[in-house]
Amino acid sequence: MGVVALVPAAGRGERLGYGMPKALVPVNGVPLLVRAVRGLLDSGRVRHVVVAAPPADVDVVSTVTAPSASAGGAVHVVAGGAERSDSVRLALEYALREIPGTTVVLVHDAARAFTPSAVVAAVVDAVEAGHPAVVPVLPVTDTVKEVDDRGVVTSTPDRARLRIVQTPQGFAADVLLRAHESGLHATDDAGLVERLGVPVLTVPGHQDALKITTPFDLAVARALFPEDGR
């Protein structure tokens, strides 16, 4: 099957406070985006990666990611949109238009640059086994409270039933397209698919797939992942 990974990387990354798009921020010499793209292609399960870049940075992102392409994998760069969901939709439309045989689509945040290849493979395997939507998850170790507008606790969900959701999220291509054409809103792609009433399967994620959002996360990544690693 044709597996295409979409990488929304068009955010400004302001919470990181680095003065450049987060995707281009280096961790021990290698930009997050490059690490993310290599991780997808190194899994051996992804043939094409479509990166959504900040519109003003399409050329620089193309230059930075081009060396990651190989005989086994191609990298394409498109201009992203105003919101993350717009960037995903634009990359998806590109894939369906330009990459023949796109049947399975992954959506992977550049910020999860250290996701192990085994997680990518597990997501692809589950979609190829017939699950229309698949997300990697971790158990929740903190107790989570729901609060009202004043910050007063309204409920305490059973922690045993909660999961932290990571990427790549995997979908049958037609299901993801339907979700993005629905006009619904959600904070992740699986959330859109859920709203269509499509079942979303979970598979085990990995702590290394942490999302690098704040300077603290960046410091953790720099400490954990050596110069010559991915």
Of 9 and 172, CB closest to ligand C5P:
9
Give the nearer residue to ligand C5P in terms of CB position, either 40 or 131: 40
Beta-carbon contacts of 212 under 8 Å, excluding residues fewer than 6 positions away, are: 16, 22, 25, 27, 32, 111, 112, 113, 218, 221
Q: Which is nearer to ligand C5P, 110 or 172 (CB)?
A: 110
- In the complex, the smallest distance separating the C-beta of residue 178 from ligand C5P, rounded to whole angstroms, is 21
Question: Nearest approach, Cβ of 83 to ligand C5P (angstroms)?
Answer: 5
Please tell me what DSSP assigns to residue 207.
G
Dihedral of alpha carbons 134, 97, 187, 79, sign: positive
Cα-based angle 134, 73, 71 (whole degrees, multiple of 5): 150
Q: List the structure tokens of 178.
A: 């339907």
Least separation in angstroms between residue 112's CB and ligand C5P is 8
Query: In the bound complex, what is the minimum distance in angstroms from residue 140's beta carbon to ligand C5P?
Result: 19
Name the site residues for ligand C5P (rule: CB under 6 A).
8-11, 22-23, 52, 80-84, 87, 109-111, 213
Quick one: 82 or 153, whose CB is closer to ligand C5P?
82
How far apart CA 167 and CA 107 sit, in angstroms, is: 7
